[in-house]
Amino acid sequence: MAQAENACRLKLLRADVPADLLPAGCTPTDLQPAVNVKEKIEVNGESRLVQKKKTLYPEWEKCWDTAVADGRILQIVLMFNQTPVVEATMRLEDIISKCKSDAITHIWINTKPNGRILAQTRHLKNAPDDDHPVEDIMTSRSNSGPGIQRRRGAIKHARVHEIRGHQFVATFFRQPHFCSLCSDFMWGLNKQGYQCQLCSAAVHKKCHEKVIMQCPGSAKNTKETMALKERFKVDIPHRFKTYNFKSPTFCDHCGSMLYGLFKQGLRCEVCNVACHHKCERLMSNLCGVNQKQLSEMYHEIKRGTHATASCPPNIANLHINGDNKNNGSLPNKLKNLFKSHQYSVEEQKDTDEYMDNIWGGGDGPVKKFALPHFNLLKVLGKGSFGKVMLVELKGKNEFYAMKCLKKDVILEDDDTECTYIERRVLILASQCPFLCQLYCSFQTNEYLFFVMEYLNGGDLMHHIQQVKKFDEARTRFYACEIVVALQFLHTNNIIYRDLKLDNVLLDCDGHIKLADFGMAKTEMNRENGMASTFCGTPDYISPEIIKGQLYNEAVDFWSFGVLMYEMLVGQSPFHGEGEDELFDSILNERPYFPKTISKEAAKCLSALFDRNPNTRLGMPECPDGPIRQHCFFRGVDWKRFENRQVPPPFKPNIKSNSDASNFDDDFTNEKAALTPVHDKNLLASIDPEAFLNFSYTNPHFSK
């Protein structure tokens, strides 16, 4: 195949055609492009444009390449039922001249007699000298035509635990490592412990919160660290000297072995601490100090200081019966002081009620369930976490959706806390009619199980693929119920963080319910009310998350704007061949609003796409006022929506309580079975207390 010196990669994104030019019953998304590449040739001394190759019929949002030659012309014809509607003609050299250097460029191509086409272009060098489509992984569509035709999975960057300036991340150590805090070996088959991204300090997962010294690789100087330094006067530098170790020795900072035959590392002349030469500058000034013991003392003091503020009255007034006879050392005094509480029966009941209010219950006296109580019927969805299956409660003819999470995947990704947050939100869902409810949760040696109400109407992704887009009345109905659900979550200090078409399900009546709270963030695990984890589905991620800034509930309203746009237009508002280009589009480009949507809808979307999270629609400082009072929602009776009294504009076709026809055949045709974990060593490495009190039966569940 010949190589062209220059080539142009093109992707047609959307068309803006006046309504008076469109045939009856046709919208811009119904138009199909046809591309003719014509070349200038000399015939009898005259220049003529001749088409030498067949007409190309590219799909919307699909890439295709064409070589650039002198005088080559590109003709784009938009057709409806093989009838031309508008056309555009442009020299390929002009398109190349508008391309940025080695980058994606968005251009508007004017059409005749009126209208324009939004295209994405890129200048290529040494490309094949022919016109051919190119597989586009990020925006590939099925053969069913334009519109949203794919499911998009959520992403989540590794969770960072910030302790005293350290940035600890769960890490798989390929070589033996020892904890720099307690000096014990770090056992495990997957991610055995945490390692700081800045200074490489390695610690157990159970020890990372006990680290007391500021990270030497961090520019931060936290108040806690300064207070600790003043209180304990911990600033004793080591006296390191190069040393020949005669037996295998491990670094007391990064935990890995000191390699070499001689002069393998450094050793302190005073406390015999060893480290690599590269780790010397990162070693904390703790010569002769037992970090583990000092950390325990500090945390016990801190725990005692906040006991009154965080406990109910009976707990705050507990009697302390310390034994002062055997308190020779300060640690023993502290342990005797804080570990000798005597609880009465009444006080213990108060404590249990207090903890139940916090965590939404635990293993209680109500009926408990296990896997043998259910029949596995069909697979409804799957991902890296495991599967969601349709199940039947034996002997009851009741059907539920069971989410099955692999324990080893959860532990490897350090997502244990996320499972408890999801459980808590699902329990809380019984207070809101637009959130998927939890029936029960339980576990086996290999899996965690959430048994939830079965929403057999399918998700909005499934339904929008059937009709390409929703009309404004249907969009407004779904938007109102989603707003009620989001505001309920936000009132309870919960950020959803994964709002998308796939997670909005319909019940048998056509009302929506939000599902999948695996990305949710609660106030209990947020820094100053803000979150920082990079997570979400790429098309729906807000600018502040992409920039790595702290963020709050405003990110849900950005995702809500993307969701509304997809329902109204049938396409995503932001585009890119890869994540980097998509994120650049989210940060810099203004979404295109076709004339098929009303001015009120466009105004609402513009306010939701405000890149300033403080003034975004839905937030208190929005200049357009509260979201419920926006002109797009004019005439909405919010009280009736909150009480689920507004009849849905669409009712899904459901044949029976166990009908799964509204879910993708790719999933439902699979065999409903759990994948067993055959690695016995992996099962043995799972801490049996990692998911303590996970089992729960919801007494407030209602069908």
d(CA 419, CA 520): 10
Residue in 515, 502, 536, 518 with CA at minimum distance from that of residue 405: 518
Length in residues, the chain:
703
pLDDT attached to residue 292: 76
Flag whether 380 is marked binding.
yes
**Is 362 annotated as contributing to ligand binding?**
no
- pLDDT tens, position by position, 539-589: 999 999 998 888 999 999 999 999 999 999 999 999 887 788 889 899 999
**Contact (Cβ atoms closer than 8 angstroms) between residue 642 and residue 439:** no
Which residue reads 């109910």 in tokens?
312
Distance CA 633, CA 506 (A): 21
In the chain, what is the greatest distance between 2 CA atoms, to the nearest angstrom?
A: 116
Phi/psi of residue 588, nearest 5 degrees = -125, -25
In the numeric block, which tokens belong to residue 6?
Answer: 């220059």
pLDDT, residue 156, reads: 60
Distance CA 277, CA 274 (A): 10
Q: Is 188 annotated as a binding residue?
A: no
Task: Based on the residue annotation, tell me whether 498 is a catalytic residue of this protein.
Answer: yes
Give yes or no for a cis peptide into 113 (omega within 30° of 0): yes
Half-sphere exposure in the Cβ direction for 419 (13 Å, CA) = 28
Q: 529 labelled as ligand-binding?
A: no
Report how far residue 265's alpha carbon sits from residue 262's, in angstroms, rounded to the nearest whole number: 8
Convert 16-65 into a string of H (helix), E (strand) and C (coil). Answer: ECCHHHCCCCCCHHHCEEEEEEEEEEEECCEEEEEECCCCECCCCCCEEE
Locate the domains of the chain by residue range.
6-125, 160-216+233-292, 384-455+664-697, 458-643
Alpha helices per DSSP H over 138-269: 223-232
Tell which CATH architecture fits domain 160-216+233-292: 2-Layer Sandwich (3.30)
384 annotated binding-site participant:
yes
Class of domain 458-643: mainly alpha
Q: Residue 5 has what pLDDT? A: 56
- How many whole angstroms separate alpha carbon 53 and alpha carbon 585? 34
Strand partners, 132: 65
Query: Within 13 A of 526's CA, how many CA atoms are on the CB side?
Result: 17
Q: 10 Å Cβ neighbour count for 369? A: 18
Query: 233: which 2 tokens?
Result: 């006067």
**According to the model, what pLDDT value does residue 372 have?**
93
Cβ atoms 209, 190 nearer than 8 A: no
Predicted confidence at residue 314, as pLDDT, reads 41
The reply to whether 639 sits in an annotated binding site is no
The token duo for 83 is: 């009838």
So what's the pLDDT on residue 463?
93
pLDDT score, position 475: 97
Taking the C-alpha atoms of residue 487 and residue 496, their distance in angstroms, rounded to an integer, is 10
- φ, ψ of residue 83 to 5 degrees: the values are -105, 125
pLDDT at 56: 83
CATH superfamily of 6-125: C2 domain (2.60.40.150)
- C-beta of residue 478 within 8 angstroms of C-beta of residue 505: no
Per-residue confidence (pLDDT) for residue 94, from 0 to 100 = 79
3-state secondary structure (DSSP) of residue 104 = coil
- End-to-end Cα, the chain, rounded Å: 64
450 known member of a binding site: no
Let me know if the fold of 6-125 is the same as that of 458-643: no
Per-residue model confidence as pLDDT tens digits over 62-74: 787 777 777 788 8
pLDDT at 567: 96
Place of tokens 């899904």: 652
Architecture in CATH of 384-455+664-697: 2-Layer Sandwich (3.30)
| Ranges under pLDDT 50 in the chain | 1-4, 127-146, 219-232, 307-364
Q: Is 382 annotated as a binding residue?
A: yes
**Catalytic position from the list 30, 65, 498, 539:** 498
pLDDT for position 107 = 83
Structural contact between residues 274 and 258, judged by C-beta atoms closer than 8 angstroms? yes
Partners of residue 125 on adjacent β-strands:
6
Which string of b and e fits 392-421 if b means at least 16 CB within 10 Å? bbeeeebbbbbbbbbbbebbbbbbbebbbb
